[in-house]
Structure 1
Amino acid sequence: MNSAVAPLPTPGRAWHGQATLTFERRGERTVPQAQTQAPLKVQRPFYPEGPSLCQSVLLHTAGGMVGGDRLSYDLHLKANAHALVTTAAAAKIYRDHPQPAQVNGTVRVEPGAWLEWLPQEAIVFEGAQYHQNWRVDLAAQAHWLGWDVLRLGRTARGERFCQGEVRSRFEVWHDGQLIWLDPQRLVGSKTLWQSPHGLNGCPVIGTLVWVGAVPTDEVITAVRAIWEQQPNPQGEAGVTALQRGLLCRYRGASTSAARRWFIQVWQLLRPHYSDTAATIPRVWQR
């Protein structure tokens, strides 16, 4: 995936970006409609798996987030629409201000539709303040698969996340019932970094969630086996069955290891809500 170095954002200016994406099924084709406000943009849609599945790529033109920046996402899939939404590059959250950089997202998926929210990782610089809040509302017979990968500190430069704060809250509702609620708060400190109940010296944490159906024992076993069969597993992983879905966790030192496992899990789960095999977005291959 593309994690090239981006230019620093404009000092002293707080961005309030917005992206509203609506996907509608018209015959055999899923058609997107987008409204954006800088610094967010949406690239033209792709259909590598056929007309029923639209792949959309979000672009953050400011090059990263600083304190006071706010990004808002509103993703709406109408009945029987299918979409994969990803980002063009890794997100960067810079240390420059005591106010947090904030991301807020809402997702609505109507009956017969499904959404895959697969952004590239976020790199939270040491000392940065980063808050994100997501709510996902799924109708009956709707599915959502999403992941979130964070790198805490620029470890290649020797940074450890001993200053700063990350707050994250995801809640997913299915057919009017709360299926998964995940509030997290990580306050940078040596204790958090070193504790086996915290980061345990691991700068990368990742979460993958699929909600929409009751997972079988065979699916859970297969997902665990994917991790166990990694050639050189770097880190720790866990798999938990939800009431109507599946939860995967990663803690380790490698965003590549987290992404590799998550991609394989995504490819395994895709046939459980679609009749097409998952195709890697070409933006990840640059």
Structure 2
Amino acid sequence: MHIRQSIIDTSSLEGQRISQLRAAVEKRERGTILASKYHTAPLKIAKAFPMGDALGVIVMDVSPGLLSGDRYELQWKIGHEAHLFLTNQSFTKVHPAPDSMGGSAIRQSFELGRNAIVESMPQPVMLYRDAVLESETVVRLEAGAVWMGAEVLCPGRTLRGERFAYRSYKNRLNVYDGEELIYAQRQVIVPEQQLLSAPGCLAELTHTGVFYAFSDRIKACHAECVRSTLEAIPNRSGHPIQWGVSLTYKHGLAVMAAGTAAWLIQEALAAVWRMLREEMLGLSPISF
């Protein structure tokens, strides 16, 4: 499988602080191994460890977080039959961006070979006051491959009075089945211009999260299992949560959730992930 070096367009990033992480994992007789890696500060692979036939990888940011002008580029190549579990060490913290700067950006790509599996369960994204973040993920799947990923978005440091005080957040996800684009998501949040607390929008809710699963293995029954899993989550006094589940146009399943705390959303999305891990992959639930 040939890795596409041009997935992430860096032509507009001249003069910016670019940190790169590129890694390839492959299936061997003893399980999935880290076949190659390359990274530049402040990104690094802090730890890689076996998880049965899968490989667990923890990504570390050794800086205080994303400063204005920072660009993180991460490329993951997952070989045929390989299995990668991916997370990071702590919250992704996005610092303020002065008006004269373009803010921060994260570009991430995944290329999955035949029957490869990726489980991407990072810690939440924390947008500080006046932060600007553009996030883009591209996923390419071959036959039988499975990509599952979650993201939780915090409105700011709420204990410091920050609630939707960031300047803007833009998020994009493109998923390809072979060469066919099967899912395209675009999200733009500009708190100063939008009535986020209005009825019909977030109302009293503050934190949001999404969970996606894409594979030609996904069936309608999996969406019903996800709904049953979310309905079984215990009520948390004083912490309401709302969620929705939908099959996508082709080979996909999407979960959206909103609540009043990051841990609440993480709990719900982790429950969905563990259930699908068992139902779709036949693997035991794990904690992280």
Q: 1:278 to 1:147 in 2, by over 3 A?
A: same
Paired position in structure 2 for 1:202: 205
Q: Could you tell me which of 219, 224, 234 is aligned with 1:221?
A: 224
Paired position in structure 1 for 2:28: 26
| CA drift at 1:201 | 3.6
Q: 1:153 to 1:218 in 2, by over 3 A?
A: same
Tell me, in whole angstroms, the C-alpha distance in 2 between the residues paired with 1:18 and 1:178.
Answer: 26
Over the aligned positions, Cα root-mean-square deviation in angstroms equals: 1.8
Amino acid at match of 1:237: W
Q: Deviations over 1:230-285 (max 9, x none)?
A: 2225221000012212100011211111111111111111134534213223xxxx
Paired position in structure 2 for 1:75: 76
Q: Answer whether contact 1:162 1:192 (CA < 8 A) is retained.
A: no
Structure 2 residue 268 is the aligned partner of structure 1 residue 261: yes
Paired position in structure 2 for 1:270: 277
Q: Answer whether contact 1:20 1:34 (CA < 8 A) is retained.
A: yes
Q: 1:21 to 1:192 in 2, by over 3 A?
A: farther
Paired position in structure 2 for 1:116: 119
Q: Secondary structure in 2 aligned to 1:261?
A: helix
Q: Secondary structure in 1 aligned to 2:216?
A: coil
Tell me, in whole angstroms, the C-alpha distance in 2 between the residues paired with 1:219 and 1:102.
Answer: 33
Q: Answer whether contact 1:15 1:39 (CA < 8 A) is retained.
A: no
Tell me, in whole angstroms, the C-alpha distance in 1 between the residues paired with 2:103 and 2:40.
Answer: 20
Paired position in structure 2 for 1:60: 61
Structure 2 residue 252 is the aligned partner of structure 1 residue 251: no
Q: Secondary structure in 2 aligned to 1:35?
A: strand
| CA drift at 1:196 | 3.1
Where do residues 1-286 of structure 1 align in structure 2 (5 Å cutoff)? 15-32=17-34, 33-47=36-50, 49-50=51-52, 52-98=53-99, 99-189=102-192, 191-213=194-216, 215-232=218-235, 234-242=240-248, 243-281=250-288
Q: Secondary structure in 2 aligned to 1:232?
A: coil
Q: Deviations over 1:69-103 (max 9, x none)?
A: 11000001011100101000011101142321100
Q: 1:267 to 1:130 in 2, by over 3 A?
A: same
Q: Which moved more, 1:137-146 or 1:187-196?
A: 187-196
Q: Deviations over 1:46-75 (max 9, x none)?
A: 12x31x200000000002111111100000
The normalised TM-score by structure 1 is 0.88
In structure 2, list runs of 5 or more residues that go unmatched. Answer: 1-14
Q: Deviations over 1:183-233 (max 9, x none)?
A: 110001274332234332422111100000354343222211222222225
Tell me, in whole angstroms, the C-alpha distance in 2 between the residues paired with 1:280 and 1:21.
Answer: 24
The normalised TM-score by structure 2 is 0.87
Q: Secondary structure in 1 aligned to 2:49?
A: coil
Q: 1:28 to 1:163 in 2, by over 3 A?
A: closer
The percent of aligned pairs where both chains have the same amino acid is 24
In structure 1, list runs of 5 or more residues that go unmatched. Answer: 1-12, 282-286
Amino acid at match of 1:278: P
Tell me, in whole angstroms, the C-alpha distance in 1 between the residues paired with 2:201 and 2:130.
Answer: 17
Q: Deviations over 1:142-172 (max 9, x none)?
A: 1100111110121122222145000000011
Higher relative contact order (CA 8 A, sep 6+): 1
Q: 1:278 to 1:175 in 2, by over 3 A?
A: farther
Q: Answer whether contact 1:162 1:190 (CA < 8 A) is retained.
A: no
Count of paired positions: 267
Q: Secondary structure in 1 aligned to 2:72?
A: strand
Q: Answer whether contact 1:136 1:172 (CA < 8 A) is retained.
A: yes
